Amino acid sequence: MFELGSFIEKAFSHHSTIYFVLDDNASFVYVNKAIEERLGIKLDLSADKNIEFSSLMTRPKRWKLFRKEFNNSSEKGQAYTFQVELNTSENKSINFTCELKSVEFESKQYIFGELLEEQIKDENNTTQLQLSGLLTKNTNLLRERSFNQYIYNLIYTIQNLTNEAEIIETVCNRMVERENNEFSIERVVLKLKKSDEILTVFNNSNSATESDFELVKNADEFILNGENGSIENDGEGGFGIALQLYDVEKVDAVFYIKSHSEEQLNKEINELKIIINSMARQVSSVYLTNRLHRESIEDPLTGAFNRRYFDNEIKVEVNRAARYNRDLSMVFVDIDHFKIINDTYGHPQGDRCLVDIVKLCMETGRLSDHVYRYGGEEFVLLLPETNYEQSMVRAEKLRKSVEEASFLNINNPENPIKLTVSLGVSEYIDQQKFIEFINCADIAMYKAKDTGRNKVIGSR
């Protein structure tokens, strides 16, 4: 299966929302099973097939306009949302809200999409908010004349934020702003389950204890046992809603608000739900996009950048150094006698040593120094704004740190393991090809290994 699709399959195969991935030609490379439930069709995405998104549309000619608008939004780093009618297996049409976002995976651009069914009408023909899954569709509500412009502006603001913490903080703070008396809210508390802990992510009243908000006492149980979108209401102006922010299978957060009065809360409740679920939607979307990006550029074992990302970044950094006449150096790092570690202690111990070496690489350098797993027990440090002498000092600092460190022996913690590394250093020379730059550091590293190991050798 397509690798990006495989990643999404693990997260969303069970979900009722339709998730899909398109290539640059707008052909499907992945779609989850929800499309069978909603449209009654099963797409054959085998290698010899080329099924375009527009082929599902009732009016396929409109795709050209949608794609143009999507491209414009992508250039601004924004998602693009539009209404579309899709055909079912019974030749009927269903209205959806479609959101498209550009994502990069393994140096290729894809379109990640979500399809949400139009909202239902109750017996009074009024729009009702549906709280299913990670997402809720607010597009139609935003068009209602009666909808508060303040709410629209807030939702628009968070849709353009790309930092999860900033999204949460913006929504929580704006809910309790008093300038225009938008809401009657006096308390906002957001609880999040992370690992085995339930943390208070936001509490606007630091002076007040959580015990003065009765509902918050039940947060642990609500997170563990609540269903996504389920609601707690104490009848005294207290309101809580269970959410999925990061965990796509179960509730991992609870959003609590405290109003001045139950009567006022009832007047504001629908708009508050929209804001809260818009926040959850954007946090989940940003988290997924960032996770997809990390999956494509990071080594899953060590957390260092992977070889594929190095092959891309070395060209970028060399071009920058050549164009602006900036310093650039590289350090190749190889763990000495690593095969003996694997043979003596086992591969799990070897993996642990690799992880610990990467930690030392990161701890002994600057934030701008990038660490890459080049292959096996070999790593590369790419050092922007660093000349030859500075990179030799950096390499020696790492060598000494590894030599002096005691590495955890997972089978016998009282008997730690000692390691050393051999390092090769090179500095980029004007007009030098990037492959020559790499080879200089690589050759220097092997010279360090051939002449006794546990040393730094430079190449100029």
Would you name the residues annotated as active-site residues?
377
Q: What's the CA gap between 449 and 455, in Å, rounded?
A: 8
Q: What's the CA gap between 460 and 458, in Å, rounded?
A: 7
Q: What's the CA gap between 201 and 245, in Å, rounded?
A: 12
**Would strands 456-459 and 421-427 be described as parallel, antiparallel, or unpaired?**
parallel
Token code pair at residue 225: 């046992």
Q: Are 254 and 242 in contact, with CB atoms under 8 Å apart?
A: yes
Q: What's the CA gap between 198 and 212, in Å, rounded?
A: 18
Q: Residue 265, exposed/middle/buried by CB under 10 A (0-12, 13-18, 19+)?
A: buried
Buried b / exposed e across 412-435, counting CB within 10 Å, b at 16+?
eeeeebebebbbbbbbbeeebebe
In angstroms, the Cα distances linking 251 to 62, 167, 233 are 37, 19, 18
> Considering all CA atoms of the chain, what is the largest pairwise distance in Å, rounded to the nearest integer?
85
Q: Residue 144, exposed/middle/buried by CB under 10 A (0-12, 13-18, 19+)?
A: exposed
